[in-house]
Amino acid sequence: MKKSLFLFLFLSVFITNLSAQKVYLPTPESIGKRPMPEWFGNAKFGIFVHWGLYAVPAWANPVGEPFKVSWETWFKNNAYAEWYLNTMKFKDAPTWKHHVETYGENFDYYDFVPVFNKKTVAWDAQKWTDLFSKIGAKYVVFTTKHHDGFTLYPSTVPNPFVDKSVINSPKDFVGELAKSSRKAGMKFGVYYSGGLDWTFYRSPIVNLFPDIFQSMPKSVAYTAYADNHYHELINRYKPDVLWNDINYPDNGDFLGICAEAINQNPNVVFNDRWGKFKEYGQYSTPEYRTLDSISVKKWETCRGIGYSFGYNQVENDKQLLSADALVDMLVDIVSKNGNFLLNVGPNANGEIPAIQIERLEALGEWLKINGEGIFDTKPYTVAEGASNQKIKIRFTQKENVVYTFLLDKLTDNQLIINKLKKGIKNVELLSDKPVPLKWKQNNEELTLTFPEKTKESYAHTLRVTY
């Protein structure tokens, strides 16, 4: 009798839990119809972290901004420091010359492993998340395995070519950062290089076409390796974002991975870099590029503050975006239904360089005052407006407010803006204390008068209430 009662109670609880949360199946019908979790559309601003063995040499030739340099010369002079292993294979290129002069000709890339492990003993995730939270980031995406194959957690999935002591970190950086990020109120996502792994394919990538596609591992062994890594990451860390890079094996368990991720964490979102499974991606990920107009489908721009994702000791102010440019980019992206995933590249000790922190903190200070026009907003009917002073104008909206951003400095205290619908009730300039502005409207043309002494800002935000 007691056993029957216990079984009855157990089944009741089990069925109740099932009914409380929808269970997703590894099928196109189940995965394809799942709506985008609301948090991602509201988040707007996230931090990408590229960190790994490449942070030890931290060197790349900053030839130019990515995607603006010819593919015929890009890989030989790659500005991405995280591609160091591939770039150093060109014996007549600057990276190889630097490597030989600094470490010696016989120093292998994976000889950086003990150096990295030693330098990161005192690493503290809290320092990162204190900064990310302070500047207003809503989510963090962390590189769990980049193209070099080194995992930033002690994976139990065996690599058929490299010993675990070489290819797996003994320290669980992923777990510590996940815990710290969530404690600070941010979502946590995992980046994984599904399309490239240079422990499986060792020939250098010389040109984009066809080299990068030929270098994507296609063996059954690699497919199982990548699948098992994903299942491991999902079960250990229950990520809020699955950020796959480059591609994914055609015979991979994509649908199983997504179903498991959703059932473990209903808030999870996944990007579109999954090769033949791209159509199931919930948002697109242009790299070092933004869109020209509002996109109905959610999207996310990812880029470094400079030309590289991984820390590059060669970069200076010439390569890094200014705080003003970062603010303008964030506003432009959000006005067009995008998120901005801004990358930081810590050094080998896990310290974020001051040159990056300076810009991040400036962006954070701007968000403290102007963030209400960024977070939890939707695109307006148009992304861009125009003005008599030729100031670049962007819009977002929330309930009965249209936020209007002025991306350039005022040249006169009277400004005329178009594209704002009729019916305005009030206009304020966001500041430490909102400043009421004098205004008049004629159809969709709004004339504003600013105080003679208007406090400077990277981008002024107007709260236009209807």
Give the whole-number percent of the chain exceeding pLDDT 70.
96
For the entire predicted model, the pTM comes to 0.95
Query: How do residues 154-200 score in pLDDT, each as one tens digit?
Result: 999 999 999 999 999 999 999 999 999 999 999 999 999 999 999 99
Q: What pLDDT score does 210 carry? A: 87
* Count of positions (residues) in the chain: 466
What is the DSSP secondary-structure string of 16-77? HHHHHSPPPPSSHHHHHTPPPPHHHHHH-EEEEE--SGGGTT------SSTTSS-HHHHGGG
Check residue 130 and give left, alpha or beta (phi > 0: left; psi -120 to 50: alpha): alpha
DSSP state of 353: P
The dotted CATH code for 37-373 is 3.20.20.80
**Amino acid occupying residue 43:** A
pLDDT over 70 at 4, yes or no: no
Domain ranges of the chain: 37-373, 384-465
Structure tokens at 28: 């196109």
pLDDT over 50 at 19, yes or no: no
The dotted CATH code for 384-465 is 2.60.40.1180
- pLDDT bin (cut points 50, 70, 90) of residue 463 is very high
Structure tokens at 99: 């490597």
Structure tokens at 389: 């002073």
Nearest to 151 by CA among 165, 141, 132: 165
Q: What pLDDT score does 1 carry? A: 44
Query: How do residues 363-375 score in pLDDT, each as one tens digit?
Result: 999 999 999 999 9
DSSP, collapsed to helix, strand or coil, labels residue 216 as: coil
- pLDDT bin (cut points 50, 70, 90) of residue 20 is low
Q: Are strands 299-304 and 338-344 parallel, antiparallel or unpaired?
A: parallel
Q: In the predicted model, what is the mean pLDDT of the chain?
A: 95
pLDDT over 70 at 8, yes or no: no
Query: How do residues 102-133 score in pLDDT, each as one tens digit?
Result: 999 999 999 999 999 999 999 999 999 999 99
Q: What pLDDT score does 14 carry? A: 41
Same CATH topology for 37-373 and 384-465? Answer: no
For 424-449, give one letter per residue: b (16+ CB within 10 A) or e: eeebbbbeeeeeebebebeeeebebe
Query: How do residues 309-354 score in pLDDT, each as one tens digit?
Result: 999 999 999 999 999 999 999 999 999 999 999 999 999 999 999 9
- Crossing angle of helices 354-370 and 323-335, in 10° steps, is 50
Number of other CB atoms surrounding residue 183 within 10 Å: 12
